[in-house]
Structure 1
């Protein structure tokens, strides 16, 4: 069933032509993997051509200055010192690098929440099984009424044995912006180090590493920053860097160089791969920041306002209340599905919307009632009319159940 059959003739956003997105798909899931603009991909292709024209010269002479330039631009964007940043392929790799580097004893507790991203929770479980440490889970309700509920739930689970807290900045399953700076402050006051999974934060909200104050922070550049896939970063406080190593130990481990920290020497070169995604981060920052007169601030505000409108539209259609205050979300919003749809599997609903209506949207299983959540994203190429079409498609799906 096409949108015309439901009375819609969707007009593409003037910005959609800047992306390679399929014009036959209503793409409402920027949050899962991002989407890289054509202009940024063109820069990456140019870099790849340079690499392949003379790989020895590229890696011998061009690679490190290009990497350092990218790190410098990213450091300025997230307000930190260039010495505290390294590139990693994705935020999950950054989280794993920290967890695999730290030493845990059988009596140690590692604190996380029930909203933690499944891949990183699996990493916690792996570390616990190897070391005997115990994973403690703070139960944060959803729907949630205020940031204070999150803080209270996390702090309630802190004990004298709590060694580390792995906390999302913006949750993948529920789209919540956690009050991360206050959480970090409260946890540090109790002697607990913090590892922040910031996969969704760069480019969705303003980031200031100095103000957040986390011990460790890993974030993706390929999502809301819209860099190519394979670009992410790991931030580590200066006094902790000697303890943290990449998952692959390579030449940096015994490099005689003294002009860079061992931390950067190890992470910068873990073996031959394609580093061009990292090198395109400056282009992504510049390009996305040029799309609106107000730059990144206006872009973030525009996406936030659009997703709030879209969420209200869906909630009205489904006759439910918004599951959290508007200030607790950025450019993603999650809406619980009604019983008539929650009785189906999340895979069925996703596939029905995609196959029958051409809508690409994230549908998530949730351990608590109602059992299925829908997460919508808002990027500059999206329009309110696309969410109106989604609402109409959902009404059609409900009638079928």
Structure 2
């Protein structure tokens, strides 16, 4: 890992004085990709009307054509969105749900998506059902059984993360999509953390709707995400922002692309830079990078279990984790999270999220090519000092 760190850390623009263990929040972009992003921005500013008014659709189509093999889908089955939350909003906004329907999700979902479901539930009257799982999670089969206990004749939609945000778990969504199709239930997958962290083949995974981010683990510029919709559901998608693509009789495309591509004036440079981000990953053998990050993650799990008494949310990181890991910290009370977070940043310059989840205190560690074992030891020492202080013990 140290050899990898030495060769790849130099590409990232991160502050060298910060121990950055939070790639999962917003990602980090290497300078060759960032330079391509700025090239697109300069081209836009050189002639804005030519760029946006006459060539934007052409540029976006070329980018989709380049990216489609990375996602394992057809170019016209996905559109660019600024982030996965926006993609989820587009889908949830479009669903024809009523007060007779139920939506099944879990208690591991991203907070903004939970709020989106709450918002539309209050508007349309459908019921939200949240599955909870026995911890630590061990068997995928047991996980699926516990999820399916909440399926009823009223279940119309199952909405899951591919990799969860608070608990950093890889859910076996392919098992869910297969079973859901047999029972006529729509599947919506929030893949915010999946592209670039785990292999992705949407046609094989076969969800009805899937949204993800490029700016996290693909390392594209901020504000680059996508929404995939199975072709048979293109006509279901309604515009979240009504603009020129609506009711366009001269269009030769599906309404899905017309409704989602043009939302008024916006900088699409981040979208157009995604092919360069995938190129960077290929050139630098990212499959090996991911494997080394995963090994460092397993070593981190053992280290923090041994010296902090931390408890993993799932039993086997080879099954449930890739480059992210969440651990319970038993001797950190949730009320002390803000103070410990502040001191980790202000005193130790460590960027890592502490999360209150289900009454427990979690630490979520995200590892990328620029991380090394010294980063983990610095975190461990900082936490030992903070958790042993009298203020954290309630004295």
Number of the residue aligned with 1:315: 305
User: Contact 2:334–2:356 at 8 Å: present in 1 too?
Assistant: no
- Asked whether 1:354 is paired with 2:370, we answer no
Residue 383 of structure 2 corresponds to 394
State which of 66, 72, 81 in structure 2 corresponds to 1:73. Answer: 66
Mapped to 2, the partners of 1:310 and 1:110 lie a distance apart of 36
- 2:355 corresponds in structure 1 to 364
| 1:328 maps onto 2:317 in alignment | no
CA 259–343 in structure 1, closer or farther in 2 if over 3 Å, else same? closer
Given that 1:111 and 1:138 are in contact with CA atoms closer than 8 Å, whether structure 2 keeps it comes out as yes
Deviation at 1:273, TM superposition (A): 0.4
Aligned residues: 385
Q: How does 1:200-279 map to 2 (within 5 A)?
A: 200-279=193-272
Per-residue CA deviation, residues 86-132 of structure 1 (Å, 9 max, x unaligned), is 11111011011011011111110011001111100111111110111
Counterparts of 1:1-400 in structure 2 under 5 Å?
A: 13-291=6-284, 295-324=285-314, 325-326=316-317, 327-339=319-331, 341-342=332-333, 344-368=335-359, 371-400=360-389
SS in 1 for 2:385: helix
* C-alpha contact 2:294 2:322 (8 A) present in aligned 1: yes
TM-score (ref. length: structure 1): 0.93
Q: What is the Cα-based RMSD across aligned positions, in Å? A: 1.5
Q: Does the CA contact (< 8 Å) of 2:87 and 2:226 recur in 1?
A: yes
Superimposed CA distance per residue, residues 272-305 of structure 1 (whole angstroms, 9 cap, x where no aligned partner): 10000100000011012222xxx23223222222
Offset, 1:59: 1.6
Structure 1: unaligned runs, 5 residues or longer: 1-10
> How far did 1:138 drift?
0.6
Measured in 2, the distance between the counterparts of 1:126 and 1:289 equals 40
Q: 8 Å contact 1:289–1:299 — kept in the other structure?
A: no
Deviations along 1:153-203, whole A, 9 cap, x unmatched?
211100000011111100000000000100111122222100001100000
Moved over 4 A (4+): none
Instruction: State the alpha-carbon separation in 1 of the partners of residues 9 and 159 from structure 2.
Output: 36
CA distance, structure 2, for counterparts of residue 200 and residue 237 of structure 1: 20
Q: Tell me if the contact between 1:167 and 1:195 (Cα under 8 Å) persists in the aligned partners.
A: yes
Which residue is equivalent to 1:7? none
Counterpart secondary structure, 1:234:
strand
Per the normalisation by structure 2, the TM-score is 0.94
Mapped contact 2:311–2:329 kept (Cα < 8 A): no
Equivalent residues of 1:115, 1:140 under 8 A apart: no
Say whether the 8 Å CA contact 2:11–2:30 is kept in structure 1: yes
Corresponding residue SS for 1:289: helix
Maintained 8 Å contact 2:310/2:329: no
- Looking at structure 2, the residues matched to 349 and 146 of structure 1 have their Cα atoms a distance apart, in angstroms, of 33
2:380 and 2:340 map into 1 onto residues whose CA distance is: 13
Q: What's the CA shift for 1:344?
A: 4.3
Question: For the structure 1 residues 43 and 343, does the alpha-carbon distance in structure 2 shift closer, same or farther, using more than 3 Å as the test?
Answer: closer
Superposed displacement of residue 60, structure 1 = 3.2
3-state SS of paired residue (1:222) = coil
